[in-house]
Structure 1
Amino acid sequence: MGLSALTYVRSPAPTGAWLLGLLFFGLFLVTELTGLQFEIRRQGLLLTLADVPLLLALAYVPPMTLLLVRLAVCAIAQWRRGTVPVKAAFNIALMGASTACANLVIVEGGPVLLDEPSSWVVLVVAVLTSVVVAVAGVVGVITLVQGRFAPQELALSAVPSLIVAGLNTAIGLAVLLILRQGPAAYALLAVLVAFFFVAYRAYSGAMNQHRTLTEIYDLTAAISDTPQDGTLPDVLLGRVRKLLQAEYATLWLPAQGRHPEVLLSARTDDKGLLDVAGAPESLRRQAVETGQTVAASPKLGDDQVRAQLRDFGAKDAIVVPLRASSAVIGTLEVSGRLGDTRHFGPNDVRLLEAVAAHAAVAVENNRLVDRLRFDAYHDTLTALPNRRRISQALEEAVRVRAPGEVVAVLMFDVDGLRDVNDSLGHAAGDQLLAEVASRLRTLSPPAALVGRVGGDEFVVTLRLPNAEAALELAVDLRGRMQDRMTFGSLTLDVDTAVGVSLHPEHGSDPATLLQRADVATHAAKSLAGGVQLFDLALESRSVRRLGLAGDLRRALDNDELEVYFQPKVTLRDRRLVGVECLARWEHPTHGAVQPEDFVAVAEHTGQLSRLTEVVMREGLRRARQWVDAGRPLSVAVNLSPRTLVDPAFPDRVDDLLQEYGVSPDRLTLEITEDGVVDGVDRLLPTLRRLYDLGVHLSVDDFGTGYSSLSYLRRLPVHEVKVDRSFVQGMATDPGDLAIVRAVVDISRHFGLSVVAEGVESELTLELLEEIGCDIGQGFLFSRPLPYERLEAWLGAQTDAEPTPLGEVRRLRAVG
């Protein structure tokens, strides 16, 4: 009896239908082992095409035969997948329950008459009942273990199963109707089934590949769009955990410099990140030490790694090292593949390695931005907040000050720093400053902000009840800081002068408070107690500056300023190639006036352009003489950013070059890094005109500000001068050495020459030569010299031809 001849084919007895039972056993087994895996919370849900043969079996196979066949197929599938016994038993029981419910619907619905649409409805309801019972059982046991489902989460979990079941029942009905058409339909059905199977496999593979590529693209885009605000781990780990369908996704960064160790994990069903990991630390260390991916699962890794993972209590894991250039900066790892029967494979390893490559770049960029941001607001030597950060803190303190409180600014000026630098070298001076910073930070109240605002000036700012409390704190801190310091065989007393200014009595803005604290500090240097509260009578220094303004004008009119020249020497062959022109002023009453004082006076009184022209004229006049004497030297002149704002300045430079007949490439104009960066857009037109004239342009004090590679790329400059603070510390501080090396490498990348300021030791000279620095200047070669002494030195150099080492020693003697 053929299938097509049956209208009611179900027999109430299980005997006599074993041939059909074996046929459906094969169909159920094939569909059960070729399913789609979905994630529900921390469990995997397997959806198969078993609903299609189930509908046919409900029409053709007796109830007991169908139940036994499905239980046998389920048991074989659980065994093949390696499901744990408890879960396998639950799945087999659930399969029996769902099949029994489907049979019950058929029995209650009456005879199955394939010509009647009502029988089709009964079959569909029976299949959907089986699916609902299966989904309800899975959701129920997960709820018992992990808590209740939210309605939205329940819908997202159940609806896909019901949709797939509906499609399967529609296919089953179509197959059922085809079978009733006779043997010819069987061949057509076989072709359709084979085509569907091939198409299903291809579609499934394409969809998996498309999903993976889409998620990788979304992940990299999310990483790129993440602001530099510390939220990168949240974005990265959540997406990696979902992409790899893992229970844990972990980012580990070991402690590096001032950055502490980071261990953060995204875990299934947990909001936010946790400071735990799903894999043992030994795997993490192994990945960092070897620089290779460490993976452990039934498909990956060796027995030793799997044993470590088993002892930890995890079933599988992948640990990928994060690389920045050639260094390993941490690891990205996943552990605990969701679903008892699923494990990580080679494709998952390659996928995580691709993600780790993007993540490493993002992590390194975050750390670089964090360092640049930190450097912009902190002093390099002491790591204390700098003037910019102190100003921000003062603004905030003034804004939140309670009634009756004062905002106190205590400025500490370290006595004797110049003597230490001159006698023991700048390395000892830096050590003194670092010690003062450490003591001040340790002794100050917890609520105080301690910063460094100048070469030897430190600031402590906090809110206090009154002026008396501020003075008591200043006296107490000064006294407790006066312990001795040891430098080799020398012992020095640390002493400071302290000036105090208060808000609201002495000002409301940070600049005024700091300026008046500075005035009080200078007054405190002449007091026995060393502490001075600001008073308006102390503004004599400002009055003195006003007096200097008139004296400077007369000095410029009478050519009383003198220009000194500091040699610039090539490091490769110790050859003099140029000089830097430096203004000096010997006041008839006040004696030698510091350059920073009269330059500041010139800036504030509109005499800066005259001062610059005086220095430039003298430099070009001497450059012309040196050319005529057959020993051409370049001359360098410092510029203030205010000078570059003047659009007529390039024309004046051109006129002076033509007046003295000096080639433009013999003149170098030096602009400080901060001066360029703060107003780069306003200064670019003038800089480009000077560049077009052929004048060489130099970025002075490079590294002390907060410039970036983009500025070097935009600026039309020829030269970078490394600030003396880094050069003088590079022989003893690996950080300073790394900064100088980086500046040299960056400058060479942009085709710029590099000048090192502050060369004061032969070890520093050797290091600079080793890393490829071009030119040096400093006390090791010569101090700034007046023209006559420089000429005498040049004459002595012409008379004798010493070796490079002898030349350096003789330069030091002349200096």
Structure 2
Amino acid sequence: MSYAERALRTLSAGNRTLLRAQDEATLLHDMCRVIVELGGYRMAWVGYAEHDEAKTIRPMAHMGFEEGFLELGRFTWAEGESESSRGPTSQAIRSGKPVVVQDTTTLASTQLPVPLEETLRRGYASIAAFPLIIQDRTIGNLTIFAAEADAFDECETRLLAEMADDLAFGIANLRMRERHREAEETIRHMAFFDALTDLPNRSSVGETLAAEITQAQLENQSMAVLLLKVGRFQEISDTLGYQEGDHLIVEMAARLRHLAGPDKSVARVGEDEFAIIMPRSSAEAAMRVAHHTMREACDPVDFAGLAMDPHAYIGISLFPGHGNTPEALLRRAKIAAVQARRTACKYTLYKGTEDRESTRRLELMSELRSAIDHNELLLYCQPKVSIRSGEVCGAEALVRWQHPQHGMIATGEFIALAEHAGLIMPLTRWVLEAAFRQSYAWHERGIARPLSVNLSAQDLRDPRLIDRISGLFATWALPPELVQFELTESALMEDPAGALETLDHLKDLGVDLFIDDFGIGYSSLSYLQKLPVDSLKIDHSFVTSMLENQGSAVIVHSTVELGHNLGLGVVAEGVESEGLWNRLQELGCDTAQGHFVGRPIPTAQFDEWEAQSPWSHPAPGNHVALH
């Protein structure tokens, strides 16, 4: 067999090795084995070029009659006068080209990294060194020793150089595969582990819980989930900064990991929440762990010399008693944690009342959205009466919800539901459209009764609010004096500049504007002067207590004077008695609103109410005598 045929056979076997390779170390070893066992060469070795100060060549794999050959010399690819720098392997790495020595007996001892006699003793008659190049960068060498002199002719060298290139390609491919594997592992780790604490996250604990539930069902066992909430996290983050908040979470994670040991899983399932999963555990065992955790893990945490209690509390849920899904167990453990805040020991088992209430709220949120979309709400009006004339001078539009199963839902409850469900603006749109329809109906019958609509802070941030109101005026062709708008003082103070701009646009439409709940929003007089408003509405909390509370009386009196000095009308809310009416009349207040004047009633009944009320034909002098 010729040298070329030997090289070709070696190349072919090397290619098969490349196809089967699963990792880099095995590839290098198998390639050296193929070269020696199938190619019939004396020895082969692969080295990697290090970029340390000495530019070391680090042997990675070898096969053949080497008998410690690689340990005899110091292999380097540095350029210099040393023996190791003048050998064929060093030259191949530096030049990026194959280097062949056809007859080692012609070499001087200074041209090899090991003594010449050692080379000859091992039967290395000729040497061929090939660079391993990846993306134009030499990473190492493939060096082959033959037992015959003049073994590496041009054809054989070309074939072996091709094999070295294939080996470099295989190394590059395996490294790329390894990088992809590491990237996938990193992505998976990021998906299932918390970046701050390196604990499993909520996604991971969901899988763990599902597996533990399945195992518990197979073994007919119970299990427990503890959810620890760090109550001080938000306060520390807001006061000392997010880094200190993170320090608190990292410290709590380390404590819980230490306490849990190998038989329990700890995970971070929320910004300030940790879960501890206890397989094969009862309520009693879970309570013991919760007690131990509160005693050992909830000591004060040091913040640069300032020790602060984390204010942790723990809720416990149990399988199967409290749920048979990961979501149910975590949710009910969290509800129990909230319940635990009110206990002395700060841990408790889940009790179902709050969960049922939460479910009811979610159902009501969904049903409220449907009620808005299907026009199932009711428009009520509460009358306003002029204190001077005793006549009805307008009404405030109010929304009510008559639920088909639960009856009339308390206004405060369903407004809160709308806020949590993001339904405030849709609710306002419904009220606006209903109020304009009602005002149009009154206007068509010749009734000039202004109807006021409340706007929230969210409504003031709605970029389409002014266009929507302008469109309603255009649709119903109403005089602007028949529609008024009430905005709470606190809503105006959330974004004073933005609120002022919205009020200016509303005023351009010709409507009257009221500041509602005045006295509790802490607006400055300088800001009040800038607002294009027409009236102040004194908050009912001051009006209802003004006869018994001197402070409230002073506030009401001062607000009436302030409003009049600014050229504004003043409306008193919460007028519940004749005594309050009389006192407001003495103070010169302009308008009264409250149960003494009239309760909220459906708009369809407003005309009938007014016709029967004393405010339709007030007696001269003391109007309240009609009551």
**TM-score normalised to structure 2 length:** 0.45
**TM-score normalised to structure 1 length:** 0.35
Structure ranking higher in helix proportion: 1
Ranked by relative contact order (alpha carbons within 8 Å, sequence separation 6 or more), the top structure is 2
Higher Rg of the two aligned structures: 2
